[in-house]
Structure 1
Amino acid sequence: MKKTNCAWCGKEIFTNHLKERNYCKECYGFANAVRNGTYIKQVKAELKEITWNKDIAYLIGVIATDGTLRRNRPQIKITSKSKRFLTDLLYKIIIEFTGRDQNVNEVTAKFQEKEYTHYQLQFTSTPFYEFCLRIGLEPKKTYTLNKLAIPDEYFSDFLRGVIDGDGNYNLDKRRKTTSIRIYSGSEDFLKWIDAKCIKLFGVSGAKFHKSSNELGEKYILVYHSFHDVVNILARMYSDYHVCYEDKKEAIIDILNDLENLKQKYAAPSRIGQFVKCAYGFCENKFVAKANDHFYCSINCGDKQRKYPNKERLMVTCARHDCQQEFLQTTANNKYCSEHLSYKKSI
């Protein structure tokens, strides 16, 4: 056995046969890929251990929706229609722990006699691959993906990566509505995301839809409530490091006014809650169907708008021989409950 150094990473190795260039087991694949014409260059040392940070959480979110882990090989592939998303954003995150400079590949696929062009960023990293396995990502995860071990402090970055990977913001300026949509082949994964959003962001919850086409089935998570949208965006974009600017552009008007909106929608969601009518003279309670559902009926809402300064008062019964105090239920109520019949008789 003769001692030498790996020509790729510089690590000390032992070999029986010295060659002009000798490689360790981990780097042999890179050298072989270069010989076959692939551009890969080690520009700095690869990290031996992956730890949580905002960029890693974002990348995990993208991989969960738009990435693939190769079976029996520590290789990960991310696919996107946007080359700029891969080169200007994800590449800069990946090179920090792999230390390797490499190209993004253009791939043309044919489906039903039509050609589709997309881009792939494929990289190898044993520490990162093992990190993905530990938190719950696995090969062939499209229909089996479930909850992941994401720390609460990094969930907003993870969620931003999920939406940038396979989600969108649907802004309808004519109707003045906004929704957040996330697509996945796994319903369990989407339900886990919704449960985490309810727990961490105080949202009322999403609706789920299912669609099918020639490519297979997929599930759609949708946040329709503007209260939910504002609270999710506030958490995702208040202290973020990276994001896909093209998708951010769709909600730029909301983000520019986020501070005012956060104050307006800071209260917990009312949807589905048993609440009291906001009209001062009404005792009714009802289940709120929206965050701006304040009145049990149109009649109560009209009265409140007509008499905005009317308040319920503690008054004394108007009957001459009764001194009982009671809380008015209507503006014209001058008699306590025991003497309402007296009012009708006069």
Structure 2
Amino acid sequence: MGKRGAKPKGKVKIKWSPGLAYAIGLLVTDGSLSSDGRHISLVSKDTEQLENFMKALKIRVSIGTTRSGYTGKMTTRIQFGDITFYHFLLGIGLTPNKTKTISAIKIPNRYFFDFLRGHFDGDGCTYSYFDPRWKSSFMFYTTFVSASKRHIVWLQKEIFNRLKIQGHITND
């Protein structure tokens, strides 16, 4: 006999798209999976980023506040329950308490750059300067941050495979 009860209805339509890949990039950097097996959260000081996340997933939930576990300050977040989406995220490589343990994420090649854009919007930045060693040499850098070395090494490899940009990893 099968399991009793109604089949869970997912809030998120799980079909690969640029929006889904972008949202997963944000979840990898600023999101979390609750240990209860159903809740997904995204925290950001930027409410526009939370709105973009909801738009990418085609969901509407209220934006609330929570206390940051790192700074102790209040910050905005969205949280919703979706068992089906939660299990999908587990299947592609996200886990609860992922900060230092996350590794490769299973993203279809077609949507990798959409994922990377979400990853960049979550924990990326750019900086530039004129290098005084060479006349008229403008240096421009793009950085990605992760507490997991395995994840950042995977990301570096994926970027190299697609763009032939080597980059380097620092421990700051």
- Per the alignment, residue 152 of structure 2 pairs with 190
- Per the alignment, residue 206 of structure 1 pairs with 167
How has the CA–CA distance of structure 1 residues 138 and 108 changed in structure 2, closer, same or farther, with 3 Å as cutoff?
closer
Task: For residue 107 of structure 1, report the CA deviation from its aligned partner.
Answer: 2.9
Indicate whether 1:138 and 2:138 are aligned: no
- Per the alignment, residue 104 of structure 1 pairs with 63
Which aligned segments of 4 or more residues in structure 1 are displaced greater than 6 angstroms?
A: none
- The whole-number CA distance in structure 1 between the counterparts of 2:69 and 2:160 is 41
Indicate whether 1:63 and 2:24 are aligned: no
Deviations 1:213-248 (A, max 9, x none): xxxxxxxxxxxxxxxxxxxxxxxxxxxxxxxxxxxx
Deviations 1:90-147 (A, max 9, x none): 12123x2xx5x32111234487xx7623211111112211111111111111111011
* 8 Å Cα contact 1:82/1:118 also seen in 2: no
- The whole-number CA distance in structure 2 between the counterparts of 1:155 and 1:166 is 16
Matches of residues 251-266 of structure 1 in structure 2 within 5 Å? none
How has the CA–CA distance of structure 1 residues 109 and 198 changed in structure 2, closer, same or farther, with 3 Å as cutoff?
closer
Of the three residues 93, 105, 108, the one matched with 2:56 is 93
- Per the alignment, residue 232 of structure 1 pairs with none
- The whole-number CA distance in structure 1 between the counterparts of 2:38 and 2:72 is 30
Task: For residue 173 of structure 1, report the CA deviation from its aligned partner.
Answer: 6.5
Indicate whether 1:169 and 2:126 are aligned: yes
Count, aligned residues: 164
Of the three residues 22, 34, 39, the one matched with 1:75 is 39
Deviations 1:156-214 (A, max 9, x none): 111111110111111337863211111111011011011111111122x1111112xxx
What's the TM-score, normalizing by structure 2? 0.83
- Per the alignment, residue 134 of structure 2 pairs with none
- Percent identical among aligned pairs is 28
SS across alignment from 2:145: strand
Of the three residues 117, 127, 138, the one matched with 1:160 is 117
How has the CA–CA distance of structure 1 residues 116 and 196 changed in structure 2, closer, same or farther, with 3 Å as cutoff?
same
SS across alignment from 1:140: coil
Indicate whether 1:148 and 2:105 are aligned: yes
Rg (Cα) greater in structure: 1
- The whole-number CA distance in structure 2 between the counterparts of 1:194 and 1:54 is 21
- The whole-number CA distance in structure 1 between the counterparts of 2:80 and 2:42 is 9
- The whole-number CA distance in structure 1 between the counterparts of 2:90 and 2:120 is 21
* 8 Å Cα contact 2:8/2:84 also seen in 1: no
How has the CA–CA distance of structure 1 residues 85 and 109 changed in structure 2, closer, same or farther, with 3 Å as cutoff?
same
Corresponding letter in the other structure for 1:206: G
Task: For residue 73 of structure 1, report the CA deviation from its aligned partner.
Answer: 2.3
Q: Which residues of structure 1 form unaligned runs of 5+? A: 1-13, 15-23, 28-44, 212-346
Q: Which residues of structure 2 form unaligned runs of 5+? A: 132-136
* 8 Å Cα contact 2:22/2:56 also seen in 1: no
TM-align CA RMSD: 2.6
Task: For residue 66 of structure 1, report the CA deviation from its aligned partner.
Answer: 0.7
Corresponding letter in the other structure for 1:142: T
* 8 Å Cα contact 1:81/1:117 also seen in 2: no
